[in-house]
Amino acid sequence: MSGILEGKKILVTGVLMESSIAFHTAKLAQEQGAELILTAFPRPSLTERIAKKLPAPVKVLELDVTNTEHLAGLADQVREELGSLDGVVHSIGFAPQDALGGNFLNTPWESVATAMHVSAYSLKALTMACLPLMQEGGSVVGLTFDAQYAWPQYDWMGPAKAALEATSRYLARDLGKQNIRCNMISAGPLKSMAAKSIPGFEVLADSWNARSPLHWDVTDMEPAGRGVVALLSDWFPMTTGEIIHVDGGLHAIGA
């Protein structure tokens, strides 16, 4: 029996550690038949080591999503390896330390600008860099943390994620004519590399399972990865501009 990504060619960003949602997405995508290429920054060598734990070998490209030269050369590098693309996974986010941890009112614009550029605008920049390879259509999937609410300690990553979610909707609007779908997975708190950089993350994570209808395991990345793979597949052919919550259902609970 073939997998739901059989024959698909997918670019995955953000494979930093085995605890990355992107790693589990890449693993599941290969298991479901996809051919992958990974991008990494600032340490491609780290991603290359982690990638050896995937079911099949995969090429790793250096890509700083804020570097216009990197973006301009991406399509040619990917074309050389895969020929074309059917899907792109955006698993990128960063905010300087002074934009997190309760410093919201005092964060300078320079730090906010960095958070917005890396975490939100990069979805548009990455998608446009890959667009020449998606002549037959495809699926772009990003990862967010529910931007409807103000979370403890999350500070300027919250507005950055809100901008990311809005960017996905506008990409969905403008790329639909080319049969390209753009959606987001909104995962609950997970003990990933990104989470470790958020002061007070443990408090948020520890309280999640007490409120979520389904049992929430902060160490289990696979449900989020499965969500990404599902959206990359042809099983959601008419779904775009959507945010799918993989959070144990907490988003639906008021108190």
> Per-residue pLDDT tens for 60-85?
999 999 999 999 999 999 999 999 99
Q: Which domain holds residue 142?
A: 9-252
Find out whether 64 is annotated in a ligand binding site. Answer: yes
Catalytic residues: 154, 161
- Residues 6 or more apart from 51 whose CB is under 8 A from it? 15, 26, 38, 57, 58, 60
Find out whether 21 is annotated in a ligand binding site. Answer: yes
What pLDDT score does 198 carry? 67
What pLDDT score does 70 carry? 98
The answer to whether residue 149 sits within a structural domain is yes
Q: Please report, for the domain that includes residue 109, its CATH number.
A: 3.40.50.720
What pLDDT score does 193 carry? 64
Find out whether 161 is annotated in a ligand binding site. Answer: yes
Find out whether 83 is annotated in a ligand binding site. Answer: no
What pLDDT score does 199 carry? 67
Find out whether 140 is annotated in a ligand binding site. Answer: no
What pLDDT score does 152 carry? 87
Find out whether 65 is annotated in a ligand binding site. Answer: yes
Tell me the pLDDT tens digit for each residue of 151-192. Answer: 988 999 999 999 999 999 999 999 999 999 999 999 999 987
Quote the pTM value: 0.96
State which residues of the chain have pLDDT below 70.
193-200
Compute the distance between CA of residue 69 and CA of residue 229 in angstroms, rounded to an integer: 29
Largest distance between two CA atoms of the chain: 56
Domain count for the chain: 1
The answer to whether residue 4 sits within a structural domain is no
Find out whether 234 is annotated in a ligand binding site. Answer: no
